[in-house]
Structure 1
């Protein structure tokens, strides 16, 4: 697995952090000296969101840690399951496929050692083109169009091609990081980019500054077809997400969850979840998609086993009702 590591050294443990740790996180038995969080490609929401929360946790807990560029949800499930990295970000669709042995990185391997930590946000599926293309709807996409679906194995690459086929679109499939695909769209090497990422997607925000673009919504019938066929929910991309749109855009979405290797110490994962979930404003400052990174969304997880430390945090601090059968137990 090829990957690039971007490790950010934590700041020295400040007096305030020392007090906070003394108050709630005294037991550091078995804690790692450093940690790595798997994100995705640069230009996507995972990279911005994940790198931000990794740095926040490192600073608050006084541990060296940071984000790592990966291939996205599928690879993150594999890396966290094997313990190659401590934490990762995934979407519940790829998580389900990984648990059932259908992860293309290791076909047949049931990746049951990756546990849920906390809810992140919904990933909308959205379509972007240059205005000069004349494409203003899914039906307008010409046969044989070159469509960029993001990194191979990503949520977008796993589900968006299937959705396009369901809607009758004939296309050439292309892969790459979101920033690279945005450049290819501007250079005329792609006709469409099909994004599955939390909004605003950094690559789209950059594109609309540099070019005139169209952000295309699904019709009601198209949305209904996708909802009937795939594990997604209805979603509206709000008009304030991009300067290009002046009304909400009809879409569909999947929930994203942060994951942890199930064997990490309970007290460590509890402390990490506490940093993230106890102050939503800090997370929103990292990325606006974090408006959904709130305790009450814990029940959006119906796929992954919970890490015991995370389950304890939500039970003690958010009144969560998590069935014992959904909490990972050491064998």
Structure 2
């Protein structure tokens, strides 16, 4: 039974695939679809730009038409890929673990174990942005009752950042929306703060920098330690060159993102997609700077999801991956 979860979502940037390269002709194409769609996130967020990029690359290499689709982000992507409503999606380790355990708020109690790991994407830093005119330069400066935009409902940001703010003693009014929309609301004075969880540079933040003066607020060492002790994240520094508003690296925390595939997709199809994305990192980086971490050696950052057999075979053959048999999906 499929779960129809996309409300008002639109398919964006459908890509007409170019002729497949000769190498892909060697793959057994039995059961391959004529087209595919990648579940991403909201427009203005990293997932959408990154997902459009790899859908394009895989489509060109395999001769299959690909597209990126706007969704609610990692939690919804887990549900859509598990159910088969979408063949591919993108998620972060926290939402993946919760979904597999049956704690996805979209379908409480349903263990979403038919969404398989495909390849590592990048780390998602958690960062806070405010207008310079607000006078907010630290977490401690955020006033009681501040209107904070946490991204699309059910996204990684919306799932974890409110809890992090509560852990740090911040009292706020919770707001949701797409990143581009929240950026506009911040600029218009309808929000006090935006709490981003997205690969950097976040397009909405880069756009804000062009239009107004902003503060990118880092965590103190004590705040960082408190968050890493309470949540499935690790220390991370946002490099100074990421944004023109930064003079020095900004202390943050991050969570790894992985591309996911429905576990029942043909092995050769997923193998071909992984090969297309992982074999040319420079091409991926040209689609989005966050892809600098889309490297084979980061396969071991997945400790949550079972691997799709096609993906595990590629990493075993090309990255020396030692993936235990019980971490590879089988019917």
Normalised by the length of structure 2, the TM-score is: 0.97
Aligned to 1:176: 177
Alignment of 1:24-103 (within 5 A): 25-103=26-104
Moved more, 168-177 or 56-65: 56-65
Task: Check conservation: 1:75, 1:105, Cα contact below 8 A.
Answer: yes
Task: Check conservation: 1:40, 1:69, Cα contact below 8 A.
Answer: yes
Q: Is 2:104 the counterpart of 1:125? A: no
Q: How large is the Cα RMSD of the aligned pairs?
A: 0.8
What whole-Å deviation, never above 9, does each CA across 1:215-264 have from its counterpart, x for those lacking one? Answer: 00000000010011000000000001000001000000000000000000
Alignment of 1:256-267 (within 5 A): 256-267=257-268
What whole-Å deviation, never above 9, does each CA across 1:165-210 have from its counterpart, x for those lacking one? Answer: 0000000000000000000000000000000000000000000000
Aligned to 1:318: 319
Aligned to 1:21: 24
What CA distance in whole angstroms lies between the structure 1 residues aligned with 2:327 and 2:70? 30
Aligned to 2:156: 155
What CA distance in whole angstroms lies between the structure 1 residues aligned with 2:38 and 2:27? 23
Task: Check conservation: 1:93, 1:254, Cα contact below 8 A.
Answer: yes
What whole-Å deviation, never above 9, does each CA across 1:98-136 have from its counterpart, x for those lacking one? Answer: 001110110110000000000000000000000000000
Unaligned runs of 5+ in 2: none
TM-fit CA distance, 1:7: 5.2
Aligned to 2:211: 210
TM-fit CA distance, 1:10: 2.0
Candidates 16, 21, 26, aligned match of 1:10? 16
Task: Check conservation: 2:18, 2:61, Cα contact below 8 A.
Answer: no
Aligned to 2:227: 226
Q: Is 2:254 the counterpart of 1:253? A: yes
What CA distance in whole angstroms lies between the structure 2 residues aligned with 1:45 and 1:9? 18
SS in 2 for 1:224: helix
What CA distance in whole angstroms lies between the structure 2 residues aligned with 1:188 and 1:7? 31
What CA distance in whole angstroms lies between the structure 1 residues aligned with 2:29 and 2:17? 18
What CA distance in whole angstroms lies between the structure 2 residues aligned with 1:155 and 1:18? 36
What CA distance in whole angstroms lies between the structure 1 residues aligned with 2:114 and 2:105? 17
Which portions of structure 1, spanning 4 or more consecutive aligned residues, are displaced by more than 6 angstroms?
A: none
What CA distance in whole angstroms lies between the structure 2 residues aligned with 1:201 and 1:161? 19
What CA distance in whole angstroms lies between the structure 2 residues aligned with 1:87 and 1:302? 19
1:9–1:199 Cα change, 3 Å: closer
TM-fit CA distance, 1:5: 1.4
For this pair of structures, how many residues does the alignment match? Answer: 325
What CA distance in whole angstroms lies between the structure 2 residues aligned with 1:12 and 1:171? 49
What CA distance in whole angstroms lies between the structure 2 residues aligned with 1:237 and 1:311? 31
Unaligned runs of 5+ in 1: none
Task: Check conservation: 1:147, 1:171, Cα contact below 8 A.
Answer: yes
TM-fit CA distance, 1:20: 2.2
What CA distance in whole angstroms lies between the structure 1 residues aligned with 2:109 and 2:124? 26
Moved more, 50-59 or 243-252: 50-59
Task: Check conservation: 1:7, 1:36, Cα contact below 8 A.
Answer: no
Normalised by the length of structure 1, the TM-score is: 0.97
What CA distance in whole angstroms lies between the structure 2 residues aligned with 1:26 and 1:174? 47
